[in-house]
Structure 1
Amino acid sequence: MTSTPAEAAEAILPALAARTSAYRIDDLDDHARRLVRTAFTDTLGVALAGSGFPGITMIRAAAGIAAKDGGSLVLGTTQRVPALDAGLLNGVAAHALDLDDGNSAMGGHPSAMLVPALLALGEEIDASAPDVAVAYAAGYEVMIRLAYGLNPAHYQRGWHPTSTIGVIGIAAAAARLLQLSADHTATAMAIAVSHAAGVKANFGTMTKSLHIGQAVRNGIFAAKLAAAGYTANPGALDHRQGFLPVYNGPNGFDAARIVAGLDGLPLVSSEYNPIKLYACCHSTHGAIEAAREIRRAQGFDAGSVEDIEIIVDPNRLPHTDRPVLSEALSGKFSLQYVTARALLTGTVTLADFDGDAHRDPATLELMSRVRVTPSSPDGRANSFTATVRARQTDGAVLAATCGPHASDRDTPVDPLLLQRKFADCAGRVLPTDRVSSLSAVLRQFPDTGTTVRELMRLAEVPSRPDARGTA
């Protein structure tokens, strides 16, 4: 990949800003509205389920976050705090369970960034559902376009694109929600460039979800600073000492691809975000599905398995080849662990990543028989497909090849599947009547007349004594 010539450099952020600041709700076609609706439904449910993550209490205490009248809701509570703090806490909640949607081009999780940011800022300014839908489209455009020009090299170098790229997209989304000019939007993104952070070495620890919370907070902060007149270099992305060459190396990006076709339809009209059924890294889901298929096969006996081979795309291996786990959270990034759990139980659940679950003797025994092997190039770059082969003591070899269970461009997510997942996640915090009311509003999103403030009132944990969750 190559960078742009010097005379063409330092123009990317203004070009992106001019495009995204002009977005209107009429620019969102049926595909785009379905993508946005799915993103808000799935992410809000996942964030409610993740609101009990212990790290959130630690962050609140360490940062001294206090309640504020007229602020934005901290999910899982009735409390409201400044929008920056709500974005931080709810961003962590949205990613804590690793159950949030993904995007292949981004190599990350766009909605765990965009939805908490837009709900926090949207509640503060009393935005409408169409307002936040348009802002989502703006931020999404920036995130995916940057990924087009940076990945897979950016991901392979060890950066966490959800936060490094995402913070710039959050700034664009927040700027659009605040209705900033194109010039101020470019400034917001330039400020956000200096907040880009997050390395994959921290995957499998509490810090991974902190990447998202911090990026959400800092993206909103960047837009607010730009609105106040703060300055930044609009060439901070493609300057010779800017984001592209500094983070990817002088020849590690394709600047032209970032802006190619910028005058076409918004990317929310063509891209897609598969939703997750398992609370672990999407790179492991193909192996889980293959293991589940093997377990259902006639003659399978987990107790007689003596060798397991998992074959995956080499891009999956640096962060998922984990034969030894330091804590339960590490299991979210272990092909060995999740495959063993799926073979033993038929699925992978939230409980598999809690407490001492990673020390289960039967799981450890089966993990010791697992080998992880990179697949040969087959023309499917960055594939999420996995092959699992289980050889038993009787000589039988059972094998399956599967990709993640997810929607794609041609098969929209099953609305019933989405609603079941939402009810399961939100129901961990909210009583049944609240889950039903919130779900009904989200099914009409973004065409509902409900404002963000009204939506977030439905997401509150009721204060009555018999309600589930913490008031």
Structure 2
Amino acid sequence: MATEQLAEWIHNLNYSDLPDSVIEAATRSFHNSLGCIIGAAGHETVLKLNRMYRYEDRPAQCTIFGRSRFDGFHRETTISNAISINGVASHVNDYDDTHLRTIIHPAGAIVVALLAQTESSPDWACNGEEFITAVVVGIETSLRLGNAISPNHYSAVSPIGVAAAVSKLMHLTLEQIVYALGIASTQPVGLRVHFGTDTKALHVSRAAQSGLQAVELAQGGFTAAVDALEGRRGWVEVLGHGANNLNEQINQLMRLTEEARNGNRQSTEKWEIEKNTFKPFPCGIVIHPIIDACIQLHNEQKLKEKLGTISSVHLQVHPLVLDLTGKRTPQDDLEAKFSVYHGAAIGLLFGSATPAQYKTKVVQSLQVIQIRDRVTAEANEKIRSDEAFVTIRLTTGEEITKHVEHAVGSQDRPMTDEELRDKFRKQVEPVLEAEQAALLERLAWEVNKCGDMSLIIDAAQ
């Protein structure tokens, strides 16, 4: 059965089974996620949680990352509160990772839960190889399940991915892993209606908490259906709405693992974690082709000198762009991340799209609103999700166009290692001391070589 097969893969996987490309992909996912967590330490949504938990009189077990420069806040709290705060921080800037086939952001909940579990277990030291193996287990599980029911209910996979990852880290028995997957499967989380609010980022925290709780319950003897994923009225049937290639996904995973274990990787197929991509811009991934095009136009056409002559900006985009990011008049930073109109405006106006261009004061600025109000968007089913067309008409009658075939950050134009490392530095350096930030970046980039994960946790405070 599929649930038991998946549990067997989780139980038997070793670091030595992982191809170098998979280890590199897991390292990039961890490195990017940690940078996002620390980079958002001062975000107002994160600070709201800090204020809520600061007076709780319970034993501190886990680090709140990036707190060293924030006076008046605890640097440690309970494991549940730490997951809540760090989980929100991992996603609130919408600067994390994306599996493009399913639009799953897999790493945040998994990394947050694994770090919390590592720190709250003082009786044993976790090394980088164990940690990265658990990251691979969690992300690969999430993405395989996402593929199995895509395009339905992609938000339902993360608690199961977290349960898989923590089960591996904690060396659960095969039976316990089956139960942990089952317990997590009954706790889907996330509604799209919350896009543009604080609660959207809370989905990551809740997924991490649910997955970790599933492991704790399984360790304590709690049972669940052994066919929770594939059974009648189980996870796939209820959430897949007819979509189901779960067996195919698990069989492919088992085959790829066996090839790697035998040193005989003949298949051209990739592990799903190798297809995880990283955001160059802090907003909904479907906006990225438009931002890419508008930044290119800003640089190539010297648009700063022509802004006053722009009469209209027309976007042609994949249908998901308007479905997911069609907010016409965003009022703050959270709403702007789901506005293709804001993305186009800042790309044209500033030639840049970083967290600075998504601050509420920028979203509400007159110069941004004036450009944004001239932007129209049209969905076109013939356009790919990583593609976009932009047409600018000037009051002089001149027409300027730009076609982005594959956006930066897509699978065809992935961020380079140096771009990822630069993204990490730019997020972390304003939060940590320079020497500490440099140490953390190096440790995170070489996480699989780390002898004790507490070194990374200490450097991230």
TM-score by length of 2: 0.89
- Distance, in Å, in 1 between the alignment partners of 2:58 and 2:449 is 30
Deviation string, structure 1 residues 70-120 (Cα, Å, up to 9, x no partner): 722111226223333322221111101111121113312111122111111
Q: 1:65, 1:81 within 8 Å by CA — same for their partners in 2?
A: no
- Distance, in Å, in 2 between the alignment partners of 1:248 and 1:64 is 41
Distance apart, 1:136 and its partner CA: 0.7
Distance apart, 1:61 and its partner CA: 5.1
Which residue pairs with 2:250 in the alignment? Answer: 259
Which residue pairs with 1:111 in the alignment? Answer: 107
Distance 1:65 1:203, change over 3 A: farther
Which residue pairs with 2:118 in the alignment? Answer: 122
Q: 2:140, 2:273 within 8 Å by CA — same for their partners in 1?
A: no
Q: 1:75, 1:90 within 8 Å by CA — same for their partners in 2?
A: yes
Which residue pairs with 1:285 in the alignment? Answer: 288
Which residue pairs with 1:12 in the alignment? Answer: 2
Which residue pairs with 1:392 in the alignment? Answer: 394
Distance apart, 1:37 and its partner CA: 1.5
Distance apart, 1:357 and its partner CA: 2.5
Distance apart, 1:211 and its partner CA: 0.4
- Distance, in Å, in 2 between the alignment partners of 1:96 and 1:312 is 25
Q: 2:38, 2:66 within 8 Å by CA — same for their partners in 1?
A: yes
- What amino acid sits opposite 1:54 in the alignment? E
- Distance, in Å, in 2 between the alignment partners of 1:255 and 1:273 is 19
- Distance, in Å, in 2 between the alignment partners of 1:351 and 1:318 is 25
- Distance, in Å, in 2 between the alignment partners of 1:425 and 1:273 is 20
Which residue pairs with 2:11 in the alignment? Answer: 21
- Distance, in Å, in 2 between the alignment partners of 1:412 and 1:385 is 14
Unaligned runs of 5+ in 2: 69-74, 258-269
- Distance, in Å, in 2 between the alignment partners of 1:436 and 1:15 is 42
Distance 1:338 1:454, change over 3 A: same
- Distance, in Å, in 2 between the alignment partners of 1:132 and 1:376 is 41
Counterpart among 294, 299, 316 of residue 297 in structure 2:
294
Deviation string, structure 1 residues 354-413 (Cα, Å, up to 9, x no partner): 2333221222222222111112336x5xx222221111122222121223312637x774
Q: 1:87, 1:120 within 8 Å by CA — same for their partners in 2?
A: yes
- Distance, in Å, in 1 between the alignment partners of 2:233 and 2:176 is 22
Distance 1:93 1:65, change over 3 A: farther
- Distance, in Å, in 2 between the alignment partners of 1:441 and 1:68 is 31
Cα root mean square deviation, aligned? 2.2
Counterpart among 332, 345, 349 of residue 344 in structure 1:
349
Unaligned runs of 5+ in 1: 1-10, 461-471
Distance 1:325 1:236, change over 3 A: same
Instruction: Note the 1:29-108 alignment, pairs <5 A.
Output: 29-60=19-50, 62=52, 66=56, 71-77=61-67, 79-108=75-104
Which residue pairs with 1:469 in the alignment? Answer: none
Which residue pairs with 1:440 in the alignment? Answer: 442
Alignment of 1:205 onto 2:210? no
Counterpart among 159, 171, 174 of residue 163 in structure 2:
171
Question: Identity across aligned pairs (percent)?
Answer: 25
- Distance, in Å, in 2 between the alignment partners of 1:430 and 1:64 is 21
- Distance, in Å, in 1 between the alignment partners of 2:120 and 2:251 is 35
- Distance, in Å, in 1 between the alignment partners of 2:447 and 2:54 is 34
Alignment of 1:323 onto 2:323? no
Distance apart, 1:164 and its partner CA: 1.8
Counterpart among 404, 421, 424 of residue 422 in structure 1:
424
Distance apart, 1:64 and its partner CA: 7.5
- Distance, in Å, in 2 between the alignment partners of 1:269 and 1:18 is 18
Q: 1:308, 1:370 within 8 Å by CA — same for their partners in 2?
A: yes
- Distance, in Å, in 2 between the alignment partners of 1:216 and 1:337 is 31
Deviation string, structure 1 residues 128-167 (Cα, Å, up to 9, x no partner): 1111101111111211111111112x1xxxx4x3x42111
Which residue pairs with 1:139 in the alignment? Answer: 138
Alignment of 1:364 onto 2:369? yes
- Distance, in Å, in 2 between the alignment partners of 1:222 and 1:415 is 35
**Partner SS for 1:99:** coil
Q: 1:389, 1:397 within 8 Å by CA — same for their partners in 2?
A: yes
Which residue pairs with 1:6 in the alignment? Answer: none
Q: 1:85, 1:217 within 8 Å by CA — same for their partners in 2?
A: no
**Partner SS for 2:98:** coil
**Partner SS for 2:402:** strand
**Partner SS for 2:448:** coil
Distance apart, 1:49 and its partner CA: 0.9
- What amino acid sits opposite 1:89 in the alignment? I
- Distance, in Å, in 1 between the alignment partners of 2:199 and 2:41 is 15
- Distance, in Å, in 1 between the alignment partners of 2:6 and 2:295 is 43
Which residue pairs with 1:8 in the alignment? Answer: none
Distance 1:151 1:34, change over 3 A: same
- Distance, in Å, in 1 between the alignment partners of 2:171 and 2:233 is 30
Select between 17-26 and 78-87 the one with higher mean Cα deviation.
78-87
Distance apart, 1:60 and its partner CA: 4.7
Which residue pairs with 1:309 in the alignment? Answer: 314
Distance 1:67 1:89, change over 3 A: farther
Counterpart among 239, 258, 276 of residue 231 in structure 2:
239
Q: 1:290, 1:401 within 8 Å by CA — same for their partners in 2?
A: yes
Distance 1:299 1:97, change over 3 A: closer
Distance apart, 1:187 and its partner CA: 1.0
Count matched residues. 437
- Distance, in Å, in 1 between the alignment partners of 2:225 and 2:119 is 30
Deviation string, structure 1 residues 24-65 (Cα, Å, up to 9, x no partner): 111122111111211121111110011222233433555688
Q: 1:29, 1:269 within 8 Å by CA — same for their partners in 2?
A: no
**Partner SS for 1:391:** strand
